[in-house]
């Protein structure tokens, strides 16, 4: 990743923007990373990838929760409701 200080970018902004069209550019302030400049295309790709990874993680969490759940099927649930209703009728 190309890197420029804030001072440098004030003097060579077109070079920095041209570089940002190719790859993300890291801007530093007092030798510390402070900003990243990138093309909209790279930004959109990054955001799309982030969304895909979030969806993947949420899907895996849902599968894990389902595998670890104690949910019963519809037939079992209905049978239990009928059993409880029958007990209630006999009371």
Q: Is the pLDDT of residue 91 over 70?
A: no
Q: Report the half-sphere exposure of 41 (CA within 13 A, side-chain side).
A: 4
Q: Over the chain, what is the mean pLDDT?
A: 86
pLDDT at 85: 87
Q: 76 or 22: which carries more pLDDT confidence?
A: 22
pLDDT tens digits along 56-77: 999 999 888 878 877 667 888 8
pLDDT at 38: 94
CA 63 to each of CA 57, 58, 59: distance values in angstroms, whole numbers, following the listed order: 10, 9, 6
């Amino acid at each position: 990743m190309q890197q420029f200080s804030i001072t440098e970018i004030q003097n060579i902004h077109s070079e920095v923007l041209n570089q940002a069209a190719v790859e993300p550019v890291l801007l530093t302030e007092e030798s510390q990373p402070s900003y990243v400049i990138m093309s909209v295309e790279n930004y959109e790709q990054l955001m799309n990838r982030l969304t895909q990874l979030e969806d993947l993680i949420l899907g895996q969490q849902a599968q894990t929760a389902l595998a670890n759940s104690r949910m019963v099927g519809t037939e079992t649930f209905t049978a239990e409701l009928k059993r409880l209703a029958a007990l209630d009728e006999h009371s």
